[in-house]
Amino acid sequence: MMRLLFVFIAIGLSFQTYGQQILTYTEYMEWVRDFHPVAKQAEVTLRFGEQELRSSRGGFDPMVYADYDRKRFKNTNYFDKREAGFVVPTWAGVELKGLIEQNTGSLLNPELEVPDDGLIALGASVNVAQGLLIDKRRATLRQAQIYLESTKAERQLILNDLYLEATETYWNWAADYRNVVILQEGVELAEQRFEMVKESYIQGDFPAIDTVEAYTQVMDRIYRLQTAQIQFFRSTQFVNTFLWDQNEEPVELLESTFPEDVLNEMVFDYSKESLRDYVQLHPDLRLTDFDIESLMVERRYKANLLLPVLKVNYNFLSESFNQFGNSPFLENNYKLGLTFGMPLFLRRERGELGLTKAKIDFKNYQRDLKLIQLKTKLESEIFNFETVEQQLTVFINNVNGLQKLLDGEMIRFDIGESSLFLVNAREVSLISARITLNDLAGKRKTAYAKLLNAAGLGFEE
């Protein structure tokens, strides 16, 4: 497992005066966005759409062909047929054609006879009814273009979920670190008080029972510190899962690396009103819109199949390319064909069209429900965020009050009007409140990330 030392050098982390390295939230999220495998997977989804679009464009690729057919039996040359040409499909539904034909043989079909030097044909095939405005190739290409746009929304969904998960992991880590720091301070205070009480007992100022109480406080706080250290170790391991290097290798935090203070103020860029506007453009909603748009293309194509097949083929014939410029259109040498066909009942075509319309209605109802669900989720996250903010304000005041009580109790203890029991009780209450405050500060910042996720935001594109 690689170390993260080069990571900190690369992104320029700040250092505290006592040599600890601070991995800030901004630097951490930049690292996650650039190198996490899920972020790379999100970018790969765009390639799906790009390759699908390329594949569908292949339906309009010009094609060259060549046919050779020969029959010889008992020294008789029945026929020798050669044909080479090209076909160019166009977006307008017209196929441009060109070919060179050369046929010989003693038993050749008379209609295949051509001049000795061969016959050149240039022409086109046009769908006059079915396939005039849309056909399978054009429908497939349009759906591929829609799919390419949908992969962008799918990519954003993946990045949004990664943003939320990474943010929650970081602030849990930051809160756990601050809890360890507070409990370490509590252990140090308890040890100092134990030494003071023990010295006072030796001098005859305190009874022996006070040393027992001071010692039990030390043991209790060491236990709580060890529990917090276990939790901090776990959250550190979770943070490690989000850190990868440029070579797509997982990396680990150095033991001297710590998060920024969870109590630091954080700038919240979006208001409640703007988030309510953004939810209308939620990637999950856009994916449904793209599904509907793709079905609308399919519906248009299926409706076109109700028209009869009416195809006109025209080829201008010449013995050489030079004659094309001198021969009037449809006056000298040409080949003209007309193809018509239509089912009598159109049951298959009407059934497929009705099925597509039903799918569109189904998706529209699904979209309406999804929009309501997304709005409801956003309002729930807004309420949660505001509630956590209120709780945080309450606990800040609570911690300030408990600190004043502790300070007052210490003054009374120093002048002999209080007991060690009351001082410890005040101190334990303050430590517990400070830990709760850290947890609330982390929850507040996580709640904001949940707000963004509910509105369809996260990592910027």
What Cα–Cα distance (Å) separates residue 203 from each residue in 192, 214, 215, 234, 439? 17, 16, 18, 45, 43
CA proximity to 373, closest of 272, 454, 290: 454
One-letter amino acid of 194: F
Residue 313 and residue 340: Cα distance in Å, rounded? 12
Predicted local distance difference test score (pLDDT) of residue 377: 96
Pairing type for strands 76-89 and 94-104 reads antiparallel
**Which three-class secondary structure state does DSSP give residue 416?**
coil
The pair of three-digit structure tokens given for residue 239, joined into one six-digit string: 């943070």
The pLDDT tens digits for 171-181 are: 999 999 999 99
Question: Terminus-to-terminus CA distance in the chain, angstroms?
Answer: 31
Cβ contacts of 291 within 8 Å, gap of 6 or more:
150, 363
Cβ contacts of 288 within 8 Å, gap of 6 or more:
363, 366, 367, 370
Predicted local distance difference test score (pLDDT) of residue 37: 94
Other beta carbons within 10 Å of 198: 16
**Which three-class secondary structure state does DSSP give residue 338?**
strand
Residue 209 and residue 201: Cα distance in Å, rounded? 9
Predicted local distance difference test score (pLDDT) of residue 325: 57
CATH of 2-35+138-294+356-455, one of 3.30.2290.10, 3.30.70.980, 3.90.180.10, 1.20.1600.10: 1.20.1600.10
Give the chain's residues under pLDDT 70: 1-20, 205, 321-332, 461
Predicted local distance difference test score (pLDDT) of residue 324: 54
Predicted local distance difference test score (pLDDT) of residue 12: 36
Domain ranges (residues) in the chain:
2-35+138-294+356-455
